[in-house]
């Protein structure tokens, strides 16, 4: 404020700080796409042209496949395969699969480390996407053949190894794809792009569940998984990245721009709450870990329906009905999530990210409470719609909030990979804890097929633990302060 031509020193200091912050953010945005001196700089995020909706869909095409793979693997395929290989300890076997799926995400920071430094005339993301996708097909084929010899002693081990390879390749590909949005899309389209990403992921999950409803034989899913690889070239063609070669006439690919350093690679796995630039990203990491630990109770949904659901005629689910029912329930939930994802992303651009995420956590808590008391299938389907809508809200805004909190956009893949490790911790620790709860819970003997079924008390404990973790996630958002 000025008075009589005099300038208030405090105002000058505040303006200087504000200008420094603005200049710093612009410098960061201008650095996107450049790793060291000599690389052609990309436009700042404020200078980028708006992308058409069709191109945004093309860029996010891979997430259609990723949503189909991850959702149906967790909800349909792995529970069925766990029972196939280990009929007497399927919950523990399923937890083992989920720990592998989660641990595979530790490859993310390494993939981000390489992707951020890749020199290629095709950009720094697309070479990694194509190379990692090439490992998915043989892994899926090996899994299919291993399950056909499930009685052989080596079959389960082969399946676990092939599954590990597939998850590693998918997560490397996923990490590179997440770097496309901050590299290409302007800030004022981040919410829209993330809404489309979430909608594509939900649409892929819907497609996989619809396929399961039509073809309940789990073995046929593997050919559907292979067909999904067609989305990879769509993403690569839509993401018209700029060349990251130092000189126009340089060779095709130089995987690392700088000398490889184990110490530098190790730093890709660290995040410090004591550094001001990383503090909000750290607490977002914690919140995401809590969310995925809580939401991972869904991998036991097939068992929950098998042991507690009641059809309209008063009988339980038998035969292939649990697989078909969970596919049907997941399908309608994903449709609800797909419908809500895009509006939620746009809404977060106006109202902010945190209120939408907190509302989604509250919605998931209500779902867990309802699953404790509701057992009729007709009512469970209604709960599934609400569950899908709430999860879709979270997924549509979670990624956008992570971009808003990035400590350094020049290394966006690195930081988003660390952000992805949060889901590794959640999807590894959560199923392990829940499997132990269910494994040691009271079980009733089924005289019809000789199996043992977990009683309601075990599932009640599991759902209450999940609801508590969701509440912690919502309250933890108070510590997250986005920089953009």
Residue range 277-332, pLDDT digits in tens: 888 899 999 999 999 999 989 888 888 888 888 887 777 777 677 877 888 888 88
Domain boundaries, the chain: 48-239+259-479
The enclosing H or E element of 2 equals strand 2-3
The enclosing H or E element of 464 equals helix 456-476
Q: Give dist(CA 173, CA 175) in Å, integer.
A: 5
Residue range 12-68, pLDDT digits in tens: 444 444 444 444 444 444 444 444 433 334 445 545 677 788 888 999 999 999 989
Enumerate the H helices of 318-411 as residue ranges.
321-351, 353-373, 377-404
Q: Considering only the C-alpha atoms of the chain, give the largest distance between any 2 of them, rounded to a whole number of Å.
A: 93
* Spatial CA neighbour of 117 closest among 133, 107, 128: 128
Q: What is the topology classification, in CATH, of domain 48-239+259-479? A: Growth Hormone; Chain: A; (1.20.1250)
HSE, CB side, 13 Å, CA atoms: give it for residue 210. Answer: 9
Residue with tokens 């990251």: 244
Considering 209-218, 381-390, 424-433, 437-446, the range whose residues carry the highest mean pLDDT is: 381-390
pTM: 0.65
Q: Give dist(CA 199, CA 205) in Å, integer.
A: 10
């Amino acid at each position: 404020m000025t008075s009589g031509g005099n300038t208030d020193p405090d105002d000058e200091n505040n303006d200087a700080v504000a200008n420094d912050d603005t200049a710093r953010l612009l410098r960061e945005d201008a650095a996107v796409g450049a790793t060291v001196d000599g690389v052609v700089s990309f436009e700042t995020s404020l200078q980028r042209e708006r992308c058409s909706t069709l191109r945004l869909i093309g860029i996010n095409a891979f997430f259609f496949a990723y949503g189909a793979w991850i959702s149906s693997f967790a909800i349909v395929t792995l529970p069925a395969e766990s029972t196939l290989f280990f009929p007497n300890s399927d919950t523990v076997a399923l937890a083992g699969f989920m720990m592998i799926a989660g641990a595979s995400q530790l490859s993310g920071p390494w993939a981000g480390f390489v992707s951020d430094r890749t020199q290629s005339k095709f950009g720094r993301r697309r070479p990694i996407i194509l190379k990692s996708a090439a490992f998915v097909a043989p892994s899926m084929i090996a899994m299919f053949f291993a399950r056909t010899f499930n009685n052989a002693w080596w079959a389960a081990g082969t399946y676990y190894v092939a599954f590990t390879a597939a998850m590693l390749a998918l997560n490397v590909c996923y990490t590179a794809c997440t770097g496309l949005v901050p590299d290409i899309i302007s800030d004022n389209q981040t919410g829209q792009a993330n809404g489309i990403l979430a909608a594509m992921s939900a649409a892929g999950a819907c497609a996989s569940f619809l396929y399961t409803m039509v073809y309940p034989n789990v073995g046929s899913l593997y050919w559907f998984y292979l067909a999904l690889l067609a989305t990879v070239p769509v993403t690569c063609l839509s993401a018209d990245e700029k060349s990251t070669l130092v000189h126009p006439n340089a060779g095709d690919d130089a995987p690392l721009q700088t000398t490889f350093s184990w110490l530098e690679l190790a730093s890709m796995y660290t995040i410090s709450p004591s550094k001001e630039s990383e503090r909000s990203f750290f607490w977002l990491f914690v919140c995401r870990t809590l969310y995925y630990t809580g939401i991972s109770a869904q991998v036991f949904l097939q068992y929950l329906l098998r042991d507690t659901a009641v059809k309209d005629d008063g009988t339980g689910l038998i035969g292939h009905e649990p697989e078909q029912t969970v596919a049907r329930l997941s399908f309608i939930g994903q449709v609800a999530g797909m419908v809500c994802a895009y509006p939620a992303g746009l809404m977060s651009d106006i109202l902010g990210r945190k209120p939408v995420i907190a509302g989604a956590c509250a919605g998931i808590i209500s779902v867990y409470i309802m699953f404790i008391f509701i057992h009729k299938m007709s009512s469970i389907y209604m709960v599934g719609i609400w569950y899908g809508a709430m999860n879709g809200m979270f997924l549509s805004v979670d990624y956008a909030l992570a971009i808003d909190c990035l400590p350094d956009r020049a290394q966006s893949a690195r930081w988003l990979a660390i952000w992805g490790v949060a889901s590794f911790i959640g999807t590894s620790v959560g199923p392990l804890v829940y499997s132990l709860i269910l494994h040691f819970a009271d079980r009733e003997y089924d005289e019809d097929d000789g199996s043992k079924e977990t009683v309601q008390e075990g599932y009640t404990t599991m759902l209450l633990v999940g609801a508590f973790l969701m509440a912690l996630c919502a309250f933890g958002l108070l510590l997250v302060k986005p920089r953009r």
